[in-house]
Structure 1
Amino acid sequence: MDPTTTFLSCDWGTSAFRLRLVERESLKILAETHSKEGNAATAERWQQAGQPPAQRVAFYRSILQKQLTKLETTVKMSLDGVPVVISGMASSTIGMLELPYLPLPFATDGSDLLTRTIPAEPDFKHSILLISGVKSADDVMRGEEVQLVGCQFENTAEPQLFLHPGTHAKHVLVQHGRAIAMKTYMTGEIFSLLSTKGILAASVEEGGKLDEGQNRQWFEKGVEHSQQANLLHNAFLVRTNDLFKKASKRENYFFLSGLLIGSECHDLLARRPASITLAGEPALLALYGAALQKLGIAGNCPVRTKTAEEVTLVGQVAVLQQQLITLGKI
């Protein structure tokens, strides 16, 4: 495999690991593998192993090597020399090598993100480009900064918003080719807690899609209610919807989702950006797109959507190219 035309994209999160062999120019995925060996589980194994700190990188590389071997079996050839680009939690306190956060602002082309190159060694024949996260005075992110780079924002004076839905949704303001401010919303985590723990868990049921049955109507009703009353009161309506048989448990699931996503997006009504880029998993993109439409935000500024996979690959290869330019290799 030609190491100058391909790279290994590693998205190493807290609870999951994904590795892809990718063509640099076309971003075509040639092979991929994934596991539940996220950084949290790997860090726990590292602690249990009782090895000295100097062996930490080697321990994490052994996890990488196991997955690399799977890819080599799939493509039936050696991947020696192909560089690995890692974004996500691998640069955190539970990761391979802790790197400090880069303070805002940062360039949206990825040229000034904080990185560390770990050279190849005889027992691991791949250089590793580790990308760190970003911080503001009171907020942080790891992984989303690479996805923001992958959105390829225009260099304009108009404020643009990067919105990444997820467990901890990120809103990042972009202006003049730089990310200048950010906010984290614990939307996904609060939804998970409310829908699986406590009294509301018995009133909702996961399943179905947004456009099935009355799901969209109940989701939009949740978005509407989120603008009219306090979330702590609105949440109890999930209970009474079920108690009074107003909604099925699956419809209630979408109602609760609408309440939380609507609450998150409420801030955008006061300060609307010139454009919004939604980047994430398809199911969440559909929900956020519907919420922005219902709130009238989408009607006043363009909203474009990109998948998490697409922006991760584009962002990683952009940072890799910047690194090669810095080293004088291209």
Structure 2
Amino acid sequence: MRNTLLCCDWGTSSLRLSWVNTQELQIIDEVSGQEGIASTYNAWKESTDKNISQKEFFLQKLQQQINVLATKLGVDLNNIPVVLSGMASSSIGLEELAYAEVPFALDGSKATVRSFEKQPEFSHETVLISGVRNQRDVMRGEETQLIGLVHLMNLPDSKQKEIVFVFPGTHSKHIQVQNNAIINFQTYMTGEFFNLIAQHSILKNSIKNPKQEKLTEADWEGFSRGVQESAKATILHTLFSVRTNQLFNHLTKAQNFFYLSGLLIGTELRSLQQKTVPQIVLSSGSNLYPFYQRAIEELQLTDQTLVVSPEIIDKAAMVGQVRIFEQQLTPI
């Protein structure tokens, strides 16, 4: 099992565990599920065993996932090092770690990590990676993805000009890079705000999720209208147009669902129009990729935007974890 590593991207609502060939930077196999940090923390709080510590409980859950992967592969994964990133280093995770600060070098050398020795119940050396902060913002996980992305791609030279990497998600991140380091970043609660509006506001009665894999031209028309509407007023005003669209029969409820998405994504990305940004790199997974790409086209940001394929983004966190592991410890 030499030259392999167990890489775990443990987010708020999901977990992804990969067995990785570190020389070829290839995933041998993986398991994933909805056993995220939040649900695991809640399970620990509700546990009847009051003698088990938070760290011990999280290691037990991680060991269960390693066992699932080992059974799937038919191999013994004991003694293979584990590297963790994402929300595992938060106050509701395995152990809380202080954030690294900007400027943050993209070779992984400035990452804040904590190493744990093997234990009788957990036979893996473990490296826990923390996140990054600036004066008013924090992130956990995206910095590791970015380290991997920069390693994987022949990206524009950041020594001469600033590059903004856009990572869509529940809490989207716009990360400014210059001189091969993160110099600043901003968080946009686009995904979470969409879910709140769509599920818990008066506007939920004006939209309907069509739950179809492929959008129709009418769906895309609704999305584009939302992007364009985002320029007309502040979001607190334009949001009410979701209701009037339905009341005045301007859009169907299904179109309105995508209109709301366009309204919020358009609001997020318009911040890039307000800055002098020579280069934008859209770094999106497959679920949100077509929406952000369409919004960039609608906002006429295409000429200055490099779009990274979802396949590369899917691999970026793992590569970033390997890079940080190699920087912090002896080479694998």
Q: TM-score range by the shorter chain?
A: over 0.9
**Aligned equivalent of 1:183:** 186
Equivalent residue for 1:228, pick from 232, 235, 239:
232
Query: CA-atom RMSD, angstroms?
Result: 1.9
SS at match of 2:92: coil
> Hey, what's the Cα distance between the residues in 2 that align with 1:208 and 1:272?
38
Offset from partner CA, 1:99-129 (integer Å, 9 cap, x none): 0011111011212111111111232111111
> Hey, what's the Cα distance between the residues in 1 that align with 2:214 and 2:254?
10
One-letter amino acid matched to 1:116: R
Most deviating of 135-144 and 6-15: 6-15
Offset from partner CA, 1:56-96 (integer Å, 9 cap, x none): 32221111111111111111110122111111111000011
Alignment of structure 1 residues 130-279 onto 2, 5 Å:
130-152=128-150, 154-206=157-209, 207-208=211-212, 211-279=215-283
One-letter amino acid matched to 1:244: F
**Aligned equivalent of 1:299:** 303
Structure 1 residue 287 and structure 2 residue 291: aligned?
yes
Instruction: Please state how far the C-alpha of 1:231 moved relative to its aligned partner.
Output: 1.5
Q: Is the 8 A contact 1:208 1:250 kept in 2?
A: no
> Hey, what's the Cα distance between the residues in 2 that align with 1:220 and 1:200?
19
> Hey, what's the Cα distance between the residues in 2 that align with 1:195 and 1:5?
46
* Count of aligned pairs: 324
> Hey, what's the Cα distance between the residues in 2 that align with 1:273 and 1:46?
45
Instruction: Please state how far the C-alpha of 1:242 moved relative to its aligned partner.
Output: 1.4
Instruction: Please state how far the C-alpha of 1:47 moved relative to its aligned partner.
Output: 2.7
Identity across the alignment (%): 39
**How has the CA–CA distance of structure 1 residues 312 and 60 changed in structure 2, closer, same or farther, with 3 Å as cutoff?**
same
Structure 1 residues without counterparts, runs of 5 or longer: none
One-letter amino acid matched to 1:65: Q
Give the alignment's TM-score, normalised by structure 1.
Answer: 0.92
> Hey, what's the Cα distance between the residues in 1 that align with 2:287 and 2:40?
29
Tell me: higher relative CO, structure 1 or 2? Use CA pairs within 8 A at least 6 residues apart: 2
Instruction: Please state how far the C-alpha of 1:176 moved relative to its aligned partner.
Output: 0.5
**Aligned equivalent of 2:42:** 44
**How has the CA–CA distance of structure 1 residues 268 and 193 changed in structure 2, closer, same or farther, with 3 Å as cutoff?**
same
Q: Is the 8 A contact 2:284 2:308 kept in 1?
A: no
> Hey, what's the Cα distance between the residues in 2 that align with 1:175 and 1:134?
16
Structure 2 residues without counterparts, runs of 5 or longer: none
One-letter amino acid matched to 2:294: A
> Hey, what's the Cα distance between the residues in 1 that align with 2:26 and 2:180?
27
